[in-house]
Amino acid sequence: MSKKVLIADDELYILESVSYVVKQAGYEVITAEDGEAAIKLARQEKPALIFLDIMMPKITGFEVCEQLKNNSDTKDIHIIMLTARGQERDERMGMEAGADEYITKPFSPRELRKRLDEILGNEGKEDKQTNRLLYQNTPLSSLGFWILKIISLIIVMLDITTRFFSMILLNRLN
């Protein structure tokens, strides 16, 4: 029976992208779209590895990590925070919650595959067909991630610009 990997993220395209990498590496995939489900599945399924987002509904990834690491049945599960929050403070909070590693989005499918193999014991084993599929034909959801990232940045910039000019206009009117 193959080792289980839990992927906990509320963004479908991230779940699909990471699931693709994990399945291509030969592991069983379990997914959760919120923190409560992640805790429940981790306790039931006892995965060997968890990819955990921070910003999730119901319970944050920080809290999920802390609860799992403080439970004797789940404390040894390797947890990798996989998140868009790349600030040093966020990484420190993740490590303080008990995370074993911290990877920021956007992530490299190669790096995820490498970490999977190193953590779960398949280091050095390569399937040429899988590598060709994984590295040459990265799923479109990865492209979708970049497009959404760019759109998000544009929206943030527009919001900042709107607020800036609103403040200038209000100052001139007063």
Whether 93 contacts 69, CB under 8 Å: no
Same domain, 174 and 93: no
Cα–Cα distance measured from residue 40 to residue 100, given in angstroms and rounded to the nearest whole number: 20
2 DSSP assignment: P
Lowest-pLDDT range of 16-20, 90-94, 167-171: 167-171
**CATH no. for residue 84?**
3.40.50.2300
Tell me the per-residue pLDDT of 62-114, one tens digit each, with 9 for 90 and over.
999 999 999 999 999 999 988 777 777 877 887 888 888 888 877 778 888 88
Together in a domain, 98 and 158:
no
For residues 92 and 154, membership in a common domain is answered with no
Residue 48's pLDDT is 93
Q: How confident is the model at residue 128 (pLDDT cuts 50, 70, 90)?
A: very low
Same structural domain for residues 132 and 158?
Answer: no
Residue 125: predicted pLDDT: 45
Q: Do 99 and 148 sit in the same domain of this protein?
A: no
Higher-scoring residue by pLDDT: 141, 120 = 120
Considering the domain architecture, whether residues 85 and 163 belong to the same structural domain is answered as: no
Indicate the pTM of the whole model: 0.69
152 and 66 housed in the same domain: no
The structural domain count of the chain equals 2
Mark whether 16 and 87 lie in a shared domain. Answer: yes
Segment 115-136 shows an average pLDDT of 58
pLDDT at 56 over 80: yes
Q: Are residues 77 and 154 in the same domain?
A: no
pLDDT in tens, 139-153: 445 566 667 667 766
Give the model's confidence band at 35: pLDDT under 50 very low, under 70 low, under 90 confident, else very high.
Answer: very high
The Cα-based distances of 53 to 9, 103, 134, 140, 167 in angstroms read 5, 10, 22, 20, 35
Least confident of 8-12, 141-145, 170-174: 141-145
How far is it, in rounded angstroms, from Cα 170 to Cα 45? 57
- Specify whether the CB–CB gap between 61 and 54 falls below 8 A: yes
**Percent of the chain at pLDDT exceeding 90:** 29
How high does pLDDT run on average in the chain?
Answer: 80
- State both tokens at 115: 């970490």
- Tokens matching residue 59: 């319970």
- Note the pLDDT of residue 142: 57
3-state secondary structure of 149: helix
Residues 73 and 17 in one domain: yes
Checking phi first, is residue 4 left (phi over 0); if not, alpha (psi -120 to 50) or beta? beta
Same domain, 132 and 153: no
C-alpha 163/C-alpha 130 separation (Å) is 48
Do 81 and 122 have their domain in common?
A: yes
Query: What's the DSSP call for residue 58?
Result: S
Range of the domain at 94: 4-138
